[in-house]
Amino acid sequence: MQTRQRRISGAVVVAACGILALVAGCSSSTPATKEHDTKPTASRSADPDSPASPRTSPADLKPVPSQRLRGYLLATDDLGPGYTQTETPDDEKAADPHRYDDIGMSGCPALEELGKHSDEVQFAAKTSAGFTFGTDSELGEELHSDTPSKLSSGLRRLVHAQTSCPTYTMTSGSTPVTVTVHKDAAPSPGPDAYAFTTTLNGPRGTSVLKTAVVRRGNVLVTLVGAPALVDRHIKAAVAKLPSA
Domain for residue 222, yes or no?
yes
pLDDT digits (tens, 9 = 90+) for 168-224: 988 878 888 899 999 999 999 888 999 999 998 888 888 898 999 999 999 999 999
**Edge-to-edge strand list for the sheet holding 125-133:** 83-87, 125-133, 137-145, 219-225, 205-216, 193-202, 175-183, 167-172, 103-106
Domain for residue 14, yes or no?
yes
pLDDT digits (tens, 9 = 90+) for 104-155: 778 988 888 877 766 667 889 989 899 999 888 989 999 999 999 999 999 9
Q: How many CB atoms lie within 10 A of CB 34?
A: 11
Domain extent for 18? 10-31+60-239
44/223: higher pLDDT: 223
Domain for residue 55, yes or no?
no
Task: Please tell me the distance from the alpha carbon of residue 149 to that of residue 154, in angstroms, as a whole number.
Answer: 8
For the chain, give the mean pLDDT: 77
Q: What percent of the chain has pLDDT over 70?
A: 69
First to last CA, the chain: 45
Domain for residue 45, yes or no?
no
From the list 110, 91, 238, 82, the residue with the least C-alpha distance to 166 is: 110
The pLDDT confidence band at residue 94, using thresholds 50, 70 and 90, is low
Provide the CA 38 distance to its chain's centre, in angstroms: 22
The pLDDT confidence band at residue 88, using thresholds 50, 70 and 90, is confident
Domain for residue 70, yes or no?
yes
The domain that contains 142 carries what CATH number?
3.40.1000.70
For the chain, the domain total comes to 1
pLDDT at 26: 41
Amino acid, res. 132: T
| Residues 71, 72, 74, 78, Cα dihedral to 10° | 90
243/38: higher pLDDT: 243
pLDDT at 227: 94
Strand partners, 104: 171
